[in-house]
Chains A and B, each alone.
Chain A
Amino acid sequence: MSSTKRSPWITLSALLIYFFLYAPIVVLIVFAFNSSKTNIVFEGVVNQGACGPFYWFCKLFSNDDVLDAAKNTLTIAFISTIVSAIIGTMAALALQRYDFPVKRASEAALYIPIVIPEIVMGIGILVFFSALFTWFNSTFGLVGDGRLAMGLGTVIVSHIAFSIPFVTLVVRARLHGFDKSLEEAAMDLGANEFTTFRRVTFPLIAPGVLSGALLAFTLSLDDFIITFFTTGPGSTTLPIYVYGLLRRIVTPEVNALSTIWILTVLIVVFISQRLEARR
């Protein structure tokens, strides 16, 4: 067969691409087991305390700041995923089904957050919230702890905002080629609009909704820039926390944290792809 005669350069460049993509990740994971406190030289596998090679992982789990950051990250991710999955699905259904005057414009506007630089979005949201809060606090005379300020709430709202387009995109792909006569058949057989959605439409688009939601979840877990601009005291997320650590000293603790993180995201992405494949 002619396809076996492949140029060695193609194989080499493919290997190089994978090397540059994955070598840093492998190094990062390996250094999570380093016995040295610095991230420069690998001085052998750590074997310290009760956890042995997992010393840095154990140290991580006894760190309250890390645990708080993890809790914040997950809280933000869960709430923003659920809300953006609902709104994103509704938007996808509306765009798929109805013709309305500003359909094209609203569709384009929906996808803008995907393409504009995240830092622009971040600054935009920051300016928006601070202007809104300043006006609100002065108008209603709120002072001290009663004032509206940046915090978990603002991070969640902004995560919802940037996740919606991704959910809509994935759900629309699922809706493409959706047989409208299935809904008509359900109505014909006596199901009202809500029952039709519950018994027919939703079960059929559920894999799309779920994979969209998982995408939103991973985006929220990873997000640094927008979170950085909208966070406040007590709402530090893991990416923000790690960034803070880096400015001081990079201990293998950070590597351990990153390792867990990579595994979490990988699992979520894997599930999402499996669901997407099951169409």
Chain B
Amino acid sequence: MAEYAVELRDISKRFPGPSGELVTAVRNVTMQIRDGEFFSMLGPSGCGKTTSLRMIAGFELPTEGEVYIHGKPMGKTPPFQRPVNTVFQNYALFPHMTIGENVAFGLQMDGVPKSEIMARVKQALEMVRLPGYEKRRARQLSGGQQQRVALARSLVKRPEVLLLDEPLGALDLKLRKDMQLELKKLQREVGITFIYVTHDQEEALTMSDRIAVMSGGVTLQVGNANEIYERPNCKFVADFIGETNFLQGKVTEQNGKAVTLALAGGLTVHAEAEQSLANGTEASVAVRPEKVNLTGHAGAANQFTGRIVSVVYIGTDTYYGVRLPGDQLLRAREQNDRPDSRPMAAEGDEVTISFSTQAARVLTE
């Protein structure tokens, strides 16, 4: 057994663009997806995540590089000979067939005996909580139900890897949240490797064992939810996953991971960096709003005085916009966990904010 369920080795994909020139959709992407893992490719539209997925499925062939499924190079293997199945964004249920016929289709293609097909279709529909829906048509079902039929149709074949291309994109928010948990549960039960494409960072964080953040056809960072949220390796990841304040400054000192930077307005920030930085390097310090303390904290590594310029109440939390000396803006997020939940400060108030060294990450790219 190969080490990885799916491996992309240095794959690139170029398409002819509208005026004949080549457009690079995926650039030198390398990814290893482990067996039984829930792996997400996350990024904005046009980042190459869907193209990467389509190259695993075999709908597109890489211009360069190779896709390996369980250690076997796929080369030009057509989709119908690959041990993977896809759940499409628009479900792609066959409109001229019943739900039962849709789910049975893949088994018929495999030459499974008729009696077994019936049983497995029934079982698959039960698994997605649609028992007895065999005789219905796709158009009689709601979006969420169609989505589950599409899942059953793929899973009934017991693929080694299931590819999901934004399968929840067309559902409303409430249903999407339910389906997220359901999908994750289903994945644990069947123990199949899921490769999930989404532009929704929350969805990726909720479901995935590991996430690959992509942008502009390249992979920026691969890691679990905690790693990519707490330790983003570049400004794009820090900005795309959750919310981040960026403070611009110049490196004045580095001692191991601890870095000191000078900001505009004569402020000094103590932050952490993974990389070694020469003095004078222009860098951004990323600080999550929820890690900024509005009440000040004696002994905190970073403590600044600023003026509140905005107060936005969003229910569970309140956002405070703080203008620091040197005109840098910092957003602080405070939980409304006190019984009265009154704002801690009003516009125009002068406050002392603080955050720890660990909460501040130096990013140069």
Task: Please report A residues at the B interface, Cβ cutoff 8 Å.
Answer: 179, 181-182, 184-192, 195, 199-200, 203-204
| Chain A residues with CB under 8 A of B89 | 181
Interface residue SS majority, chain A:
helix
| Chain A residues with CB under 8 A of B90 | 179, 181
Given contacts A182-B92, A182-B94, A184-B92, contact A189 B105 (CB under 8 A): yes
A188 adjacent to B94 (CB under 8 Å): no
Given contacts A179-B92, A203-B96, contact A187 B78 (CB under 8 A): yes
Task: Please report B residues at the A interface, Cβ cutoff 8 Å.
Answer: 57-59, 78-80, 84-86, 88-90, 92-96, 105-106, 109-110, 153-154, 157
| Chain B residues with CB under 8 A of A199 | 105
Q: B18 CB to closest chain A CB, in angstroms?
A: 11
A204 adjacent to B96 (CB under 8 Å): yes
Q: Other than the known A188-B85, A189-B109, what 17 A-B pairs have Cβ atoms closer than 8 Å?
A: A181-B92, A182-B92, A184-B59, A184-B86, A184-B92, A185-B88, A185-B93, A187-B79, A188-B80, A188-B86, A189-B80, A189-B153, A189-B157, A190-B106, A192-B78, A199-B105, A203-B96
| Chain B residues with CB under 8 A of A189 | 80, 85, 105-106, 109, 153-154, 157
A184 adjacent to B106 (CB under 8 Å): no
Q: A194 CB to closest chain B CB, in angstroms?
A: 11
Partner of B88, one of A184, A190, A204: A184
Bound complex: CA A182 to CA B92 (Å)? 5
Given contacts A181-B90, A199-B105, contact A187 B95 (CB under 8 A): no
Q: A175 CB to closest chain B CB, in angstroms?
A: 15
Given contacts A187-B79, A188-B85, A189-B85, contact A200 B109 (CB under 8 A): no
B109 adjacent to A191 (CB under 8 Å): yes
Bound complex: CA A187 to CA B58 (Å)? 10
| Chain B residues with CB under 8 A of A204 | 95-96
Partner of B80, one of A179, A181, A182, A192: A192
Q: Whose C-beta in chain B lies nearest to the C-beta of A181?
A: B92
| Chain A residues with CB under 8 A of B85 | 188-189
| Chain B residues with CB under 8 A of A179 | 90, 92
Bound complex: CA A179 to CA B84 (Å)? 21
| Chain A residues with CB under 8 A of B94 | 182, 185-186, 200
Bound complex: CA A179 to CA B94 (Å)? 10
Bound complex: CA A188 to CA B56 (Å)? 11
Partner of B157, one of A182, A190, A195: A190
Q: B233 CB to closest chain A CB, in angstroms?
A: 34
Q: Which of A184, A185, A187 has the most chain B CB atoms inside 10 A of its CB? A: A185
| Chain B residues with CB under 8 A of A188 | 57, 59, 79-80, 84-86, 154
Bound complex: CA A192 to CA B95 (Å)? 19
Bound complex: CA A199 to CA B106 (Å)? 12
| Chain A residues with CB under 8 A of B109 | 189-191, 195
